Structure 1
Amino acid sequence: MRNRKTRSQLAQQLVFVGPSTVFFIIIIVIPFLLGMYYSFTDWNGVSGKAAWVGLDNFKQIFTSDTNFRTDFWFTVRFTVAGVVLTNLLGFFLAYFLTKQLKSRNVLRTVFFMPNVIGGLLLGFIWQFIFVKGFSAIGEKTGFSFFNLPWLGDETTAFWGIIIVFVWQTAGYLMVIYISSLNNVSHEILEAAAIDGASKAQILRKIIIPLIMPAVTVCLFLAISWSFKMFDLNLSLTKGGPFGSTESVALNIYNEAFANNRYGLGTAKAFIFFVIVAVITSLQVKLTKSREVQS
């Protein structure tokens, strides 16, 4: 009887979990392992032969590839600004849209909609806005803000990508924060208000500690999105002007598919994977340690 029950449970696991496991291995695990192998070769991505070069690709990246270091520094700066601004905007949108507003459901939909649009399409739309829309507004109003060379200068192009990134992703984080804020007990908030706590004190001392699980998730998502940002970078600036806004993801893409140095590109991708994995693991560990234990 016990053996029959064990076989039945095994059959259920194979039926429900087996197909997804097979697809995960084919789509994720095998390409990852192949990428690790090719990172130790000089394969060009086309020929059937890939000569083993050992650690030469990694030595080249750390010693002579200045573009990779420059692009990594840009990605770090972009990630810091993007993560902070996206989470701040997402949280405050959620905070105000959990109030008793008649139009809050409509506003939630409006703020979430940019996340539905694909990154490439969104980038081309905002490229038109920066180049044509802002200049037209600047001519009509005379405001210097709209007459800036938004995609033609290193500083303004950086902040242009930040604006589009925050505009696209803040709505998604807003939904997560709304879900967490709705679970905060109103009795606790009312008791704190009766005891004389100000709104700022309630927000800082009660609400934020209670929604730390949502903060952990939102920080993890924002860090991952920022580091892996590719489509907005490609459609908005293509890494320009003069490579000043090229992200690591775009650098890897150009190395592998434009320069036909697939081995070097996968070596960069492997290094990038390790760095992002370490940073996100530390972030999750740090924020989880600040979560309120129920």
Structure 2
Amino acid sequence: MEKAIKRYWPVFVLPTLIAFIIGFVWPFIWGTGLSFCKFTTVKNVQFAGLSNYKMILMDDTFTHAFWFTAAFTVVSTVLVNVLAFAIALLLTRGMRGTNAFRTIFFLPNLIGGIVLVYIWQILLNGILTNLGKPLLALDATYGFWGLIILMCWQQIGYMMIIYIAGLQNVPGDLLEAAAIDGATGAQALFKVKLPMVMPSITICSFLTLTNSFKLFDQNLSLTAGEPAKASQMLALNIYDTFYQRSGAQWKGIGQAKAVVFFLLVIVIALIQLYFTRRKEVQQ
């Protein structure tokens, strides 16, 4: 049986490989090519060279969306991971009702992003200004923190599970040895537990960073970029450029923005993986 599997493994791999090529590789190559063109449909294409990429540099909305997204990503990544790790520490101390608390914290992750948005939209927009406008549409700062709250509520439970798994794999004899040597709780945390759960930190940091940077549906539903695109993140800015602006040039610019966005996420994710994995190697 094992020999047959080794002999015919291409037969099992081929369907998935074909689906991957059709669903991802080819659209990506085609989309990258379109980023150098002006077009209204894929059959009405005119080569434009680097003009689309030059337009990105002159688009203030894209620049603002980048810095807004970068700030959001930093704050949400730090908050989600710190809070998730703190909760994981509490829930690995053998306290009563641990399983119930784990379930409660994890539940928001099972709810779709749009549903979560409308729940928080009702809560946050319940506070009205004197102008009669919803609070989130009045100031980008309110929209920013509204998105942070939403991101934390949705992601903390999932990251908590990963951190719990990492903490449970910390060898007990290391903690006992630290206690015998007179290490305090804080010293055991920073000298033993944190180094041992670095693989979990790497995974959680990667997930929260990439999820934050490419956030779209929550941004669209909660703030829609209001006021005046001030709370617009990169993914929503690309959507707005491609679908909400008329003219063949905007399709190409939107496609070019998507390519730049893809490269940004890849580069930032690789940098994060590089530094966190270096910490793992040093242990």
Q: Are residues 1:43 and 2:43 paired?
A: no
Task: Tell me the amino acid that sits aligned with residue 138 of structure 2.
Answer: G
After the TM superposition, list the runs of 4 or more consecutive aligned residues in structure 1 that deviate by more than 4 angstroms: none
In 2, Cα distance between equivalents of 1:47 and 1:187: 63
**2:109 is matched with which residue: 106, 115, 118?**
115
Aligned pairs for 1:6-155 within 5 A: 9-11=6-8, 13-44=9-40, 46=41, 48-62=43-57, 64-132=58-126, 149-155=135-141
Note the C-alpha offset of 1:262: 2.2
Task: Tell me the amino acid that sits aligned with residue 72 of structure 1.
Answer: F
In 1, Cα distance between equivalents of 2:161 and 2:241: 37
Hey, what does 1:145 align to over in structure 2? Answer: none
Alpha carbons of 1:206 and 1:31: their partners in 2 closer, same or farther (altered >3 Å)? same
How much is the aligned-residue C-alpha RMSD, in angstroms?
1.7
Indicate if the aligned counterparts of 2:76 and 2:151 stay in contact, CA closer than 8 A.
yes
In 2, Cα distance between equivalents of 1:292 and 1:54: 44
Give CA-to-partner distance per residue, 1:149-204, whole Å, 9 cap, x none: 34422212211110111110111111111111110011111211121111111101
What SS class does the counterpart of residue 50 from structure 1 fall into? strand
Aligned pairs for 1:201-280 within 5 A: 201-260=187-246, 261-280=250-269
Note the C-alpha offset of 1:47: 6.3
Question: What is the aligned length?
Answer: 273
Indicate if the aligned counterparts of 2:136 and 2:223 stay in contact, CA closer than 8 A.
no
Note the C-alpha offset of 1:293: 6.1
Q: TM-score normalised to the size of structure 1?
A: 0.89
Identity %: 44
Indicate if the aligned counterparts of 2:36 and 2:47 stay in contact, CA closer than 8 A.
yes
Hey, what does 2:131 align to over in structure 1? Answer: none
Note the C-alpha offset of 1:74: 0.3
In 2, Cα distance between equivalents of 1:226 and 1:162: 9
Note the C-alpha offset of 1:292: 4.9
In 1, Cα distance between equivalents of 2:5 and 2:122: 59
Q: TM-score normalised to the size of structure 2?
A: 0.92
